[in-house]
Amino acid sequence: MPVIRGQAQVSVITAEQRKQVADQLAKELSGQQTLDGPVIFEVPFEQQDRIDVLVVWDAWKPFSSTERSSMILDAYKTVGSKVQIAQALGVTYQEAIEQQVLPYAVLPMIRRGEVNEDDVKKAMLAEGGFALSDGKVDLRFPTMLLAEQAHKRLADTLPKGYWSIVQTVGYLQ
Single out the residue of 2, 89, 82 nearest to residue 38, CA to CA. 89
Single out the residue of 4, 8, 171, 20 nearest to residue 96, CA to CA. 171
Provide CATH code, domain 102-167. 3.30.70
pLDDT digits (tens, 9 = 90+) for 159-171: 887 899 999 876 5
Separation between Cα atoms, residue 148 and residue 82, nearest integer Å: 27
In single-letter form, the type of residue at position 61 comes to K
pLDDT digits (tens, 9 = 90+) for 57-114: 999 999 999 999 999 999 999 888 888 999 999 999 999 999 999 999 999 987 777 8
- Write down the pTM of the prediction: 0.86
pLDDT digits (tens, 9 = 90+) for 10-55: 677 888 989 999 999 999 999 998 888 999 999 988 777 889 999 9
Could you tell me where in the chain the CATH 3.30.70 domains are found? 102-167
What helix, strand, coil percent values describe the chain, rounded to 5?
35, 20, 45
Provide CATH code, domain 15-97. 3.30.300.90
- Tell me how far apart the terminal alpha carbons of the chain are, to the nearest angstrom: 27
Q: Cα angle at 68 between 102 and 96, to 5 degrees? A: 20
pLDDT value, residue 10: 61
